[in-house]
């Protein structure tokens, strides 16, 4: 979150100033311009994207006013706007020799260091800017200091600074938003909850405080309280789409997809072009197994944003669930084309190809998932079983064993390994691992029957389950 400055003010000097300057260049005569006129000329040429003439104006300006810190600052800003921060820094340092306590110079220097990713130096300069600022400017300088702390991943210091801003002006909405963001990143959920509750006691009509409180309750899995907080937020500011969106997320976390859809619909009334909302609606319908509706909303998402791999993957997933594997394939390929690091798309592609009997290609997709997300709880199972389907039982065994070393608490993987061993007739080894599985994950033993239906008729398996039930 970088602070920034640029020549965006639409100010144009009197035509005769520009004319006089350009006549001077053509005639090669020296004419006098005061500092303000040179500043106006630079703003004019910057506004029309004529950097060469802006630099020429600065060159003439500094030749006529060699000790003008104001022109040196303008020169620095100009160099920064054309991505030459080191040149900009040179002029800032020169200007500081004439005006060492100048707020604009300290601020500009801080911005330059920030853009150079020299965050500690930027922080030092923003602190100077805070010291140089008057009461009216101090709030803005503190806010930019807080942003720089965030850039440097110094969130506790950002939190402290944002609290200071809210002590100066408790109506600073940006500071309140950022404070919620920092509490979230630092996982200071309880502290955030207490802060926003206290803030609401003093300012009960602050919709942002209610919104941030809702986020903290959500993080604590207190979804009913979160929904209540979002409702207060909406009551204060009805057109606040983010509150409807977050409220919907609370319902999704409780598997209440119909209620989530109601909230998403409210959000769309406010912003009918939000692809993320359409995609989440698709996901809700997919969870409800209403696949045609899910496909409709996923397609609405990609109409709004063609570069949305999650939505393209959602369409593919629905076709896959409908048994329309060939129809699914182009959509998942589109997702991968957009984001070739998106492991979920590769995983789905592997499932689709495997279903189509194209195991060799499926392995390539699964290996991408393995490369990007080794902690995926299903990938070792998929790799092992696909190798087994290709007749590579040794490779399958290796993947199961590697998976159990890497994910020793993965109950599904362990029961699938037991199923694999039973199918291969390795009953003694299967019973050893089944004993381990039942000791540690008895409640998940249904995974064995889902992986190998015949296991429910195996008396040794049933006896061991009965033994561990006691």
CB atoms within 10 A of CB 238: 12
187's tokens: 């996982």
From 18-27, 64-73, 98-107, 294-303, the region with the lowest mean pLDDT: 18-27
pLDDT at 32 over 90: no
pLDDT of 106 over the 60 cut:
yes
Would you call 394 helix, strand, or coil by DSSP? Answer: helix
The confidence score (pLDDT) of residue 71 equals 79
Q: What is the mean pLDDT of residues 298-317?
A: 98
To which H or E segment does residue 187 belong?
Answer: none
Angle at CA of residue 421, ends 416 and 423, nearest 5° = 95
Looking at residue 30, its pLDDT comes to: 76
pLDDT tens for each residue of 223-252: 999 999 999 999 999 999 999 999 999 999
CA distance linking residue 245 with residue 111, whole number of Å: 34
Which of the four pLDDT bands, split at 50, 70 and 90, describes residue 97? confident
Q: Which of 78, 85, 47, 81 is nearest to 61 (CA)?
A: 78
Would you say residue 111 has pLDDT above 50?
A: yes
Cα maximum dimension of the chain: 106
The DSSP secondary structure of 114-163, one letter per residue, reads HHTT-HHHHHHHHHHHHHH--HHHHHHHHHHHHHHHHHTT-HHHHHHHHH
DSSP letter, residue 306:
S
Question: What is d(CA 19, CA 28) in angstroms, rounded to the nearest whole number?
Answer: 14
pLDDT in tens, 169-196: 999 999 999 999 999 999 999 999 999 9
Q: Burial, 143: exposed, middle or buried (Cβ in 10 Å; 0-12, 13-18, 19+)?
A: buried
Q: Which residues contact 268 (CB under 8 A, 6 or more apart)?
A: 274, 277, 278
151's tokens: 């850039």
Measured in Å, how far apart are the chain's first and last C-alpha atoms?
A: 58
pLDDT at 2 over 60: no
Q: What is the mean pLDDT of residues 145-168?
A: 96
- pLDDT at residue 325 greater than cutoff 80: yes
- Length of the chain measured in residues: 470
As a whole number of angstroms, the distance between CA 418 and CA 164 comes to: 59
What per-residue confidence (pLDDT) applies to 91? 81
Share the mean pLDDT of the chain: 91
Contacts of 126 (CB under 8 A, 6+ apart): 106, 107, 110, 141, 144, 145, 148
DSSP string, 242-273: HHHHHHHHHHHHTT-HHHHHHHHHHHHHH-TT
pLDDT of residue 5: 43
- pLDDT for residue 17: 75
One DSSP character per residue, 189-221 reads HHHHHHHHHHHHHH-TT-HHHHHHHHHHHHHTT
pTM above the 0.75 mark?
Answer: yes
Give the residue from 86, 54, 93 showing the smallest Cα distance to 72: 93
pLDDT greater than 60 at residue 13: no
DSSP string, 422-458: HHTT-HHHHHHHHHHHHHHHGGGTHHHHHH-GGGGG-
Residue 294 sits at the vertex; the CA angle it makes with 291 and 295, to the nearest 5 degrees, is: 90
Query: Residue 228: which residues within 8 A CB-CB, separation 6 or more?
Result: none
CATH code of 1-100, in short, is 1.25.40.10
Tell whether the model's pLDDT for residue 15 goes beyond 70: no
């Amino acid at each position: 979150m970088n602070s920034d400055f640029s020549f965006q003010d639409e100010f144009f000097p009197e035509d005769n100033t520009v004319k006089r300057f350009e006549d001077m260049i053509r005639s090669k005569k020296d004419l006098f311009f005061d500092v303000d006129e040179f500043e106006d000329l630079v703003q004019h040429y910057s506004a029309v994207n004529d950097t060469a003439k802006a630099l020429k104006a600065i060159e003439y300006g500094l030749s006529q006013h060699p000790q003008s810190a104001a022109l040196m600052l303008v020169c620095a800003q100009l160099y920064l706007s054309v991505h030459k921060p080191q040149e900009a820094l040179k002029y800032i340092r020169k200007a500081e020799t004439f005006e060492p306590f100048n707020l604009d110079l300290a601020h500009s220097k801080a911005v330059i260091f920030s853009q150079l990713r020299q965050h500690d130096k930027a922080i030092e300069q923003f602190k100077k800017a805070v010291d140089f600022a008057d009461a009216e400017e101090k709030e803005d300088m503190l806010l930019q200091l807080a942003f720089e702390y965030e850039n440097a991943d110094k969130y506790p210091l950002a939190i402290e600074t944002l609290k200071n801003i809210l002590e100066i002006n408790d109506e600073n909405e940006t500071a309140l938003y950022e404070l919620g963001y920092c509490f979230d990143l630092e996982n200071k959920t309880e502290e955030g909850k207490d802060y926003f509750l206290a803030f609401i006691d003093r300012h009960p009509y602050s919709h942002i405080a209610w919104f941030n409180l809702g986020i903290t309750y959500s993080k604590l899995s207190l979804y009913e309280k979160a929904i209540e907080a979002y409702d207060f937020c909406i009551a204060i500011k009805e057109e606040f789409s983010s509150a409807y969106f977050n409220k919907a997320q609370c319902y999704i976390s409780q598997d209440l997809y119909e209620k989530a859809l109601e909230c998403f619909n409210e959000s769309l009334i406010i912003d009918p072009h939000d692809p993320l909302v359409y995609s989440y609606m698709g996901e809700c319908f997919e969870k409800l197994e209403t696949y045609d509706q899910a496909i409709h909303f996923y397609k609405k998402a990609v109409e709004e944003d063609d570069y949305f791999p999650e939505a393209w993957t959602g369409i593919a997933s629905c076709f896959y669930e409908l048994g329309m594997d060939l129809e699914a394939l182009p959509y998942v390929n589109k997702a991968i084309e957009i984001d070739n690091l998106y492991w979920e798309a590769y995983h789905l592609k592997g499932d689709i190809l495997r279903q189509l009997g194209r195991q060799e290609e499926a392995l390539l997709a699964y290996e991408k998932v393995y490369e990007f997300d080794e902690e995926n709880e299903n990938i070792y199972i998929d790799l092992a079983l696909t190798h087994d389907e290709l007749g590579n039982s040794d490779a399958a065994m290796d993947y199961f064993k590697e998976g159990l070393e890497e994910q020793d608490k993965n109950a599904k993987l362990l029961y699938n390994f037991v199923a694999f061993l039973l199918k291969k007739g390795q009953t003694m080894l299967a019973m050893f691992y089944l004993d381990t599985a039942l000791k540690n994950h008895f409640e998940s033993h249904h995974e064995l029957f889902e992986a190998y239906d015949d296991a429910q008729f195996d008396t040794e398996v049933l006896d061991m389950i009965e033994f561990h039930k006691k």
